[in-house]
Amino acid sequence: MPLGVAVLGSVEVAAFRAGVGVFLVLYAGGMLALRGLPVVVWGGRAADGAVGLLGGIMGGIAGLSGPLPTLWCGLRGWSKEAQRGVYQPYNLGVLGFALGIYAVRGVVTAQVLELALICLPLTILGVWLGLKSYGRLDDRQFRALVLWLLLASGATLTASNLF
């Protein structure tokens, strides 16, 4: 994550976010088109760590720590409980650390805090809806829902950076 923050000044963040958006649309759309989702069994902890490292860098650059670990957990074929148990604390830790670094660097301004407060009610609604629907989904439905949400996120990232 600190590496992502360090390169922040030399990366065109809008283009980076748009690129991640296009990737998410293509990847999630492709995976949803498959009859059965593939499962990756190779790589072990080294691959898990590499994905975590890349997610941390993306979190430092553009606050996008979640997509890679989320996709990776799904590719591993883990249960919904295992997936959620990995990427929820991961994202909380990475984004909390990023917030601290941004605050020290003066990036967290009054305008940023105001925008965060504007987003807070819908964020809380999203958390509530997620908690309500989580228990009703089996592992297959959960994986499909995550892919649909990543597809929507990718489309939003792409569109918001193009227009």
Count the neighbouring beta carbons within 10 Å of the beta carbon of residue 56. Answer: 23
- What is the domain range of residue 148? 2-107+139-158
Residue 85 inside a domain? The answer is yes
Residue at token pair 């990756």: 40
83-92 mean pLDDT: 90
Q: Does the pLDDT of residue 6 top 90, yes or no?
A: no
Q: Does the pLDDT of residue 8 top 70, yes or no?
A: no
Residue 17 inside a domain? The answer is yes
Residue 28 inside a domain? The answer is yes
Residue 23 inside a domain? The answer is yes
Total structural domains within the chain: 1
Ranges assigned E (strand) in 70-123: none
Residue 119 inside a domain? The answer is no
- Global pTM? 0.82
Residue 128 inside a domain? The answer is no
Residues 90 and 97: their CA atoms lie apart, in Å, by 11
